[in-house]
């Protein structure tokens, strides 16, 4: 029984680690998409940020410098996306995809040119990474039944960016639903002409939304290369940006359901890492391929059966043109 409880706690901790980049990315996408800008470029922003974080941290030896560089790069890419699709009314999907492709090629090329390690940027040294933090009283609290082990295994002992992701959830929800900025953000994605009539710049609102997107996607990228991992490798985001976007749609563009979807994806991933080669009672050993298909199967099942219709912000994907 104790054994089982420990396994469940460890599984939960693993879910939290895997969910962090998804949550940050989904929150990033939420701002862009709620303002009416499709952001398929989350993957590229995250990958670019991962590269920048690794490069800056490797050179400076400081994780904080890496984080700042990651945010700067992700923010610049978001602005580029805005310039193409807001200022010049370009197609948002094309612009986002262009960012993904450009970053996927540019990262390894620059890494090769600067670090000569086959498109890799290794990061070493304790200060160059965000290492797990043990929260106060974690060991002492272990003896308290239920809450103690949960606190020690699941809540404590993560790196700083995991806590940042956790804190970002209520803040995002508050900003989107309880502030003037949030109200305007939602309005601009639903009915931009109404916002325009009220004397608020639609383009300005969308740019502001993309700034927040850049910030959050930058943190997600830094998490990949200098917190969870140690260094940049080619294509290391491995589709997490798209997965986050799927979670966002899954969650009907609302913060809390989107986070739940991220946790579900992460949980499926954590489970499949632990189920491989394990003999289950009655069923026996499940083939690796079947287990690895689990997250995708879950997605299809839930999308088909449980989520219902996901209604997108009405003005999503349409560049705003003032009526003359």
Partner 1 sequence: MGRTGKSGFGLAMLALALMAGTAAAQDFKPAVIFDMGGKFDKSFNEAAYNGAERFKEETGIEYLEFEVTQEAQREQAMRRMVRNGATIVVVVGFQNATPLETVAPDNPDIEFTIIDAVVDQPNVQSVVFKEHEGSFLVGMAAAMASKTGKVGFVGGMDIPLIRNFAHGYEQGVHYVNPDAEVLVNMTGTTPAAWNDPGKGGELAIGQFDQGVDVVYAAAGATGLGVLQAAADRDKLSIGVDSNQNHLHPGSVLTSMLKRVDVAVYNAFKDSMDGTWQPGAQSLGLAEDGVGFAIDENNRALITPEMEAAIEDAKAKIVAGEIVVEDYYSTQN
Among 5, 131, 140, 147, binds partner 1 (CB under 8 A): 131
The single-letter DSSP state of residue 158 is: B
**The two three-digit tokens of residue 36, written as one number:** 């009416």
Sign of CA dihedral 272, 277, 280, 284: positive
322 near partner 1, rule: CB under 8 A: no
230 near partner 1, rule: CB under 8 A: yes
Query: What angle is formed at CA 162 by the lines to CA 181 and CA 61, rounded to 5 degrees?
Result: 105
What are the DSSP E strand ranges found in 128-257?
231-232
Of 245 and 270, CB closest to partner 1: 270
Residues 273-302 touching partner 1, rule: CB under 8 A, are: 273-274, 276-277, 288-289, 292
Of 108 and 218, CB closest to partner 1: 108
117 near partner 1, rule: CB under 8 A: yes
Of 14-22, 71-79, 166-174, 192-200, the segment contacting partner 1 by CB under 8 A is 14-22
**The two three-digit tokens of residue 133, written as one number:** 């933090």
Of 31-39, 182-190, 206-214, 225-233, the segment contacting partner 1 by CB under 8 A is 225-233
Among 90, 229, 257, 317, binds partner 1 (CB under 8 A): 229
Helix (H) or strand (E) holding 313: none
Residues touching partner 1, count (CB under 8 A): 35
Angle between helix axes 240-250 and 202-222 (nearest 10 degrees) is 130
5 by DSSP, 3-state: which? helix
Distance between CA atoms of residues 174 and 79, nearest Å:
24
Helix (H) or strand (E) holding 83: none
**The two three-digit tokens of residue 225, written as one number:** 């290369």
Among 142, 234, 252, 254, binds partner 1 (CB under 8 A): 234
Q: Which residues contact 112 (CB under 8 A, 6 or more apart)?
A: 118, 119
Please state the closest distance from residue 3 (CB atom) to partner 1, in A. 10
Of 66 and 119, CB closest to partner 1: 119
Please state the closest distance from residue 240 (CB atom) to partner 1, in A. 8
Beta carbons of 244 and 219 less than 8 angstroms apart: no
196 near partner 1, rule: CB under 8 A: no
Task: Summarize as ranges the residues that interact with partner 1 (CB under 8 A).
Answer: 7, 10, 14, 17-18, 108, 112, 116-120, 122, 131-132, 224, 228-231, 233-236, 238-239, 269-270, 273-274, 276-277, 288-289, 292
């Amino acid at each position: 029984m104790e054994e089982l409880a420990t396994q469940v706690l460890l599984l939960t901790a693993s879910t939290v680690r895997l969910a962090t980049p998804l949550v940050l990315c989904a929150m990033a996408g939420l701002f862009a998409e709620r303002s009416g800008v499709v952001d398929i470029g989350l993957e590229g922003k995250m990958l670019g940020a991962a590269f920048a974080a690794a490069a800056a941290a490797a050179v400076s030896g400081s994780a904080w410098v890496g984080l700042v560089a990651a945010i700067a790069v992700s923010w610049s890419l978001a602005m580029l996306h805005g310039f193409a699709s807001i200022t010049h009314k370009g197609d948002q999907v094309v612009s986002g995809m262009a960012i993904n492709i450009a970053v996927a090629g540019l990262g390894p090329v620059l890494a090769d040119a600067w670090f000569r390690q086959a498109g890799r940027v290794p990061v070493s040294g304790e200060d160059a990474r965000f290492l797990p933090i043990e929260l106060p009283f974690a060991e002492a609290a272990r003896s308290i039944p239920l809450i103690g082990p949960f606190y020690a295994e699941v809540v404590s002992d993560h790196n700083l960016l995991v806590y940042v992701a956790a804190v970002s959830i209520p803040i995002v929800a508050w900003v989107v639903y309880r502030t003037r900025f949030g109200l305007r953000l939602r309005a601009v994605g639903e009915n931009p002409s109404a916002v325009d009539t009220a004397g608020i710049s639609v383009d300005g609102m969308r740019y502001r939304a993309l700034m927040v997107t850049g910030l959050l996607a930058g943190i997600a990228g830094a998490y990949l290369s200098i917190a969870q991992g140690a260094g940049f490798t080619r294509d290391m985001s491995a589709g997490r940006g798209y997965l986050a976007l799927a979670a966002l749609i899954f969650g009907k563009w609302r913060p809390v359901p989107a986070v739940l979807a991220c946790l579900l994806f992460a949980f499926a991933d954590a489970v499949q890492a632990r189920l491989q080669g394990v003999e289950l009672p009655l069923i026996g050993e499940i083939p690796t391929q079947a287990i690895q298909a689990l997250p995708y199967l879950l997605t299809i099942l839930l999308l088909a059966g449980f989520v219902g219709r996901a209604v997108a912000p009405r003005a999503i994907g349409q560049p705003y043109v003032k009526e003359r």
